[in-house]
Homo-oligomer: A and B are copies of this chain.
Amino acid sequence: MERVAPGVYKLALGTLEEHTPVRHRYVAALPSEELCDWPDNLGELFGEERIGFRASDRGCVVELPLEEGEHLFGFGLQMRTIDATGKRLWMRVSDRPDTELGDSHAPVPFYVSTRGYGVLIDTARYATFYLGGLGRLDDRGAVSEPADRAGATSTDELYASRGPAGRRVVVDVPTAQGVDVYLFAGPSLIEAVRRYNLFSGGGCLPPIWGLAMAYRGLNVFGAKETLKVARYLREHDIPCDCWGLEPGWQTRSYSCSFVWHPERFPDPDAFLAQMSEMGYRVNLWEHAFTHPESPLYGPLKPLSGDHRVWQGLVPDLSLPEARRLFAEYHAKEVARPGVASFKLDECDNQTRTQPWSFPELSRFPSGMDGEQMHSLLGPLYQQALLDVYKPSGQRTYGLVRAGHAMAAPLPYVLYSDVYDHRDYVRALMTAGFSGLLWTPEVRDCKSVEELYRRVQTVVFSPLANINAWYLKNPPWLQIDRKRNNADDLMPERDEVEAVIRRLFELRMSLVPYLYSAFAEYRFLGLPPFRHPVMDHPEDPNTYGLEDEFMVGRDLLVAPLFAGEHERKVYLPEGGWYEFHTNQHYEGKQTITVTAGPERIPFFVRAGAILPLAEPVTHITRDTVFRLTCRVYGPGTHFARLFEDDGETDAYERGEYGWVRLDWSQHEGGSASREGHAPMRRYEVVGYELIDAR
């Protein structure tokens, strides 16, 4: 077992395949000693001798220990499984993540334990994890079965799970004759996650505008229609920083030409300039499948896989030459000034009887097969388009439909076509275990109440996206798809818009807080959105939570769903204040909260200083956020805000600083600065003590 970074160990088992997530990671930097200065508990937990391995003609198998009472979390973006203990999960890239089987847009062969460690199996294969539950012939006693199942009167009863039987994790890796196993020390669960994120290269730091509101217009909008709706938002003071163009901007999509559509966008530069003048950053939809009419087709053809998708090439983006061609073309022909980011669609695989993507049996020039490429296409594609922005030093923050291991430094947010609100919340809660980001984006809705509830969730997510790709008008003017596209708007649209505006403004007021949470993701590996178990692995009440999550260090968000106006919330240890009512609750209890359709319940940690910005409609290079700092509870508190230019990679060369906010009952509040921020982004206009006890 080799120590490869502070608290990170590598155990090489058998022969590693040439194409794995670690081998294809974007950021090679390892976390330094001072960044992981927590105790290294791994030696106390288990050593190499407790890790089993065998290879056969069907692949290889790794066995790891699992103790009584230990609970496991992770496995990438999961919509149905949070506590994975006792389950079998399959790490298959799929556009149907709404199952319990493990299928995901971003399956990650990584898990963390409540005992305080993490495990990464470095493979691009569709590995199956048995997380307890396998009983072996040579097991002694351990397994407990009901004496007689014969009396069951339903199949549910008959086949009811008996909880984990075998005390081991078994990983079945097809084809591969070996894997590297990475072990991440704690001492507790969250430090294992942080070590994993830092080992991946640290979390991404989005440009600050990326944390503001985003909107995507109808797929066939040209410049004229886009500008019209974009102007509408400005005229109605509806916050929005990022505007997404869907497939219609290209001459060919499905597959893609990567060429601006001459009728819809006769003068892309003029269009982008007009958008820019209004303060919008433009995001372009695309996928990697390259249409025969694309200028990239000829150059990429010899560097592509042996199967087509929608007639298009599947470029082998693991090849430096393919990536260079792809990025250079995008930099030169596509990403003109004003194009700030991309949406990378369709790079996942499909679990359907008529899939459109390339088959697992595909072969690529790099030697990868289709299975490996499905696992790695998401990350490789993100890397290729990051290269577009590297020369200019501009940061980007895009959307992507597939991810895998080592994703933390990639500034892309996952999304899906499945649309169950509760699934979307679970995805938000699980993504953070494995260095992923997720947006529960809002499309059409069955009721205004559902629209409110969904918008309330999305404003508490990594990317507050309204995805109106099949809606002519914003969904708050008409929630119904057909009527919306027929310009048959809702009579109550003004009131609805007012509520939506307030929710967007809530998001805007939180941007400084969120931006600082992302800075901690970048530097400390701390996930900005996370499941409560991460902060409280010692509290079993958190293990089963499926609909409440932490945002940054101090907010606990408990969304409501259409049809509900009250819910139970488990408050972990400590004291908590409900944001809207300022009511104080002691932690370690389950409470019931009520909230009308216009409000989402969320809680601020007692002892926190929450800086709330005066909302702006969009963020410019010079925006200075005017902050009211809400101080929760008596005593002495401090908080800090990250400050830099908000847009470029200058922070990586030290051009950033922290604004320290202090408050005590006697002296009130004060702000001080440390570091080398190139500008001042925050102005504190006041402190407000909340202490309702």
Q: Within the assembled complex, what's the spacing in Å between the Cα atoms of A213 and B70?
A: 52
Contact with B along A345-359 (1 / 0, CB 8 A): 000000111111001
Asked if residues B170 and A359 are in contact (CB atoms below 8 Å), the reply is yes
Contacts of A155 on B, CB cut-off 8 Å? 417
The minimal Cβ–Cβ distance linking A366 to chain B, given in whole angstroms, is 14
Residue A137 lies at the interface, judged by CB distance under 8 Å to chain B: yes
Residue A670 lies at the interface, judged by CB distance under 8 Å to chain B: no
Asked if residues B172 and A134 are in contact (CB atoms below 8 Å), the reply is no
* Complex interface residues of chain A between 123 and 141 (CB less than 8 A to chain B): 128, 130, 133-139
Asked if residues B149 and A253 are in contact (CB atoms below 8 Å), the reply is yes
Contact of A253 among B150, B252, B359 (CB under 8 A): B150
Residue A154 lies at the interface, judged by CB distance under 8 Å to chain B: yes
Contacts of A56 on B, CB cut-off 8 Å? 363, 369
Residue A148 lies at the interface, judged by CB distance under 8 Å to chain B: yes
Q: Within the assembled complex, what's the spacing in Å between the Cα atoms of A432 and B691?
A: 74
Binding-face segment, A233-241, A275-283, A304-312, A637-645: A304-312
Contacts of A145 on B, CB cut-off 8 Å? 254-255, 310-311
Asked if residues B88 and A308 are in contact (CB atoms below 8 Å), the reply is no
Q: How many copies does the complex hold?
A: 2
Q: Which residue of B lies closest to A99 (CB)?
A: B353
Asked if residues B130 and A359 are in contact (CB atoms below 8 Å), the reply is yes
Asked if residues A153 and B481 are in contact (CB atoms below 8 Å), the reply is yes
Asked if residues B254 and A149 are in contact (CB atoms below 8 Å), the reply is yes
Residue A57 lies at the interface, judged by CB distance under 8 Å to chain B: yes
Residue A102 lies at the interface, judged by CB distance under 8 Å to chain B: yes
Knowing A151-B219, A361-B170, the reply to whether A306 touches B136 (Cβ < 8 A) is: yes
Knowing A170-B361, A360-B172, the reply to whether A307 touches B149 (Cβ < 8 A) is: no
* Complex interface residues of chain A between 657 and 689 (CB less than 8 A to chain B): none
Binding-face segment, A204-212, A242-250, A565-573, A601-609: A242-250
Knowing A130-B359, A172-B361, the reply to whether A247 touches B149 (Cβ < 8 A) is: yes
The minimal Cβ–Cβ distance linking A79 to chain B, given in whole angstroms, is 12
Residue A629 lies at the interface, judged by CB distance under 8 Å to chain B: no
Q: Within the assembled complex, what's the spacing in Å between the Cα atoms of A146 and B291?
A: 12
The minimal Cβ–Cβ distance linking A559 to chain B, given in whole angstroms, is 24
Knowing A355-B88, A359-B134, the reply to whether A151 touches B220 (Cβ < 8 A) is: yes
Asked if residues B58 and A174 are in contact (CB atoms below 8 Å), the reply is yes
Q: Which residue of B lies closest to A135 (CB)?
A: B308
Contacts of A594 on B, CB cut-off 8 Å? none
Q: Tell me which of A128, A161, A313, A361 has the highest count of chain B C-beta atoms within 10 A of its own C-beta.
A: A361
Residue A152 lies at the interface, judged by CB distance under 8 Å to chain B: yes
Residue A81 lies at the interface, judged by CB distance under 8 Å to chain B: yes
Residue A470 lies at the interface, judged by CB distance under 8 Å to chain B: yes
Residue A61 lies at the interface, judged by CB distance under 8 Å to chain B: yes
The minimal Cβ–Cβ distance linking A183 to chain B, given in whole angstroms, is 22
Asked if residues A150 and B354 are in contact (CB atoms below 8 Å), the reply is no
Contacts of A310 on B, CB cut-off 8 Å? 145, 149
Contact of A135 among B101, B149, B304, B311 (CB under 8 A): B311
Contact with B along A543-558 (1 / 0, CB 8 A): 0000000000000000
Contact with B along A246-280 (1 / 0, CB 8 A): 11101011110000000000000000000000000
Q: Which residue of B lies closest to A309 (CB)?
A: B135
Asked if residues B148 and A253 are in contact (CB atoms below 8 Å), the reply is yes
Residue A519 lies at the interface, judged by CB distance under 8 Å to chain B: no
Residue A628 lies at the interface, judged by CB distance under 8 Å to chain B: no
Residue A499 lies at the interface, judged by CB distance under 8 Å to chain B: no
Asked if residues B153 and A470 are in contact (CB atoms below 8 Å), the reply is yes
Residue A143 lies at the interface, judged by CB distance under 8 Å to chain B: yes
Contact of A304 among B57, B59, B137 (CB under 8 A): B137
Asked if residues A172 and B359 are in contact (CB atoms below 8 Å), the reply is yes
Contact of A308 among B137, B154, B355, B363 (CB under 8 A): B137
Knowing A136-B308, A359-B170, the reply to whether A353 touches B150 (Cβ < 8 A) is: no
Knowing A58-B175, A150-B250, the reply to whether A137 touches B170 (Cβ < 8 A) is: no
Q: Which residue of B lies closest to A301 (CB)?
A: B137
Contact with B along A100-115 (1 / 0, CB 8 A): 1110000000000000
The minimal Cβ–Cβ distance linking A106 to chain B, given in whole angstroms, is 18
Q: Which residue of B lies closest to A246 (CB)?
A: B150
* Complex interface residues of chain A between 490 and 514 (CB less than 8 A to chain B): none
Residue A374 lies at the interface, judged by CB distance under 8 Å to chain B: no
Contacts of A470 on B, CB cut-off 8 Å? 152-154
Residue A485 lies at the interface, judged by CB distance under 8 Å to chain B: yes
Residue A86 lies at the interface, judged by CB distance under 8 Å to chain B: yes
Q: Within the assembled complex, what's the spacing in Å between the Cα atoms of A389 and B238?
A: 79
Contact of A100 among B137, B352, B359 (CB under 8 A): B352
Q: Which residue of B lies closest to A355 (CB)?
A: B88
Q: Which residue of B lies closest to A80 (CB)?
A: B353
Residue A480 lies at the interface, judged by CB distance under 8 Å to chain B: no
Knowing A81-B353, A354-B133, the reply to whether A308 touches B143 (Cβ < 8 A) is: yes
Q: Within the assembled complex, what's the spacing in Å between the Cα atoms of A14 and B575?
A: 68
Residue A89 lies at the interface, judged by CB distance under 8 Å to chain B: yes
Residue A371 lies at the interface, judged by CB distance under 8 Å to chain B: yes
Asked if residues B86 and A150 are in contact (CB atoms below 8 Å), the reply is no
Residue A87 lies at the interface, judged by CB distance under 8 Å to chain B: yes
The minimal Cβ–Cβ distance linking A643 to chain B, given in whole angstroms, is 41
Contacts of A253 on B, CB cut-off 8 Å? 148-150
Contacts of A137 on B, CB cut-off 8 Å? 301, 304-308, 313
Asked if residues B58 and A371 are in contact (CB atoms below 8 Å), the reply is yes
Contacts A88-B355, A136-B308, A150-B248 known; list 4 others, CB within 8 Å.
A58-B175, A100-B352, A128-B359, A150-B250
* A residues at B contact (CB < 8 Å): 56-59, 61, 81, 86-89, 100-102, 128, 130, 133-139, 143, 145-146, 148-155, 158-159, 161, 170, 172, 174-175, 177, 219-220, 246-248, 250, 252-255, 301, 304-311, 313, 351-356, 359-361, 363, 369, 371, 417, 470, 481, 485
Interchain Cβ contacts under 8 Å between A and B, 22 examples: A58-B369, A81-B353, A100-B353, A128-B359, A135-B311, A137-B307, A143-B311, A145-B254, A145-B255, A145-B310, A146-B254, A148-B254, A149-B254, A149-B310, A150-B250, A151-B248, A152-B470, A154-B481, A170-B361, A172-B359, A172-B360, A174-B174
